């Protein structure tokens, strides 16, 4: 009986973390999209990078939030398994947070 209860609690915790993680990643993607367009509005020459390579512009563009959040940020697996809350402020360092706040996306 105790083993079933413990297994149930672990499964509930795991399912909750999966849902929380998916919602966090969706929010993070929206923040990156918003940041990139606000950055392009302020620096129009970056639009050429986006137009030149529509699907993978963020790989070579250091200014892109997708680059410094997803490619150079923490590993998603380590974020999922960590005991930290899934917020931008707790998962990323101060420079990333300040950079996002500069364009008022968070």
Alpha carbon distance 94, 72 (integer Å): 14
Tell me if 100 sits within 8 A of 31, measured CB to CB.
Answer: yes
pTM: 0.90
**Contact assessment for residue 41 and residue 48, using Cβ atoms and an 8 Å cutoff:** no
* The token pair that represents 87 in the structure block: 């917020």
For residues 71 and 13, give the distance between their C-alpha atoms in angstroms, rounded to a whole number.
28
* pLDDT at residue number 87: 96
Question: What pLDDT sits at residue 31?
Answer: 97
Supply the pLDDT for residue 54.
85
pLDDT for 38 = 96
CA distance 56 to 62: 12
Looking at residue 68, its pLDDT comes to: 96
At 3 the pLDDT is 93
Cα-Cα end-to-end distance for the chain: 46
Domain assignments of the chain as residue spans, ordered by start? 23-102
Q: What length does the chain have? A: 106
Average pLDDT by stretches of 10, the chain with 106 residues: 95 97 97 96 94 91 95 95 95 96 91
């Amino acid at each position: 009986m105790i083993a079933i209860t413990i297994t149930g609690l672990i499964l509930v915790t795991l399912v909750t973390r999966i849902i929380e993680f998916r919602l966090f990643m969706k929010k993070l993607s929206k923040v990156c999209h918003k940041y990139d367009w606000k950055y392009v509005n302020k620096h129009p020459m970056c639009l050429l990078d986006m137009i030149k390579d529509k699907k993978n512009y963020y790989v070579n563009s250091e200014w892109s939030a997708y680059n410094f959040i997803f490619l150079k940020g923490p590993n998603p697996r380590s974020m999922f398994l960590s005991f930290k809350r899934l917020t931008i402020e707790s998962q990323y360092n101060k420079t990333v947070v300040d950079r996002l706040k500069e364009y008022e996306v968070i």
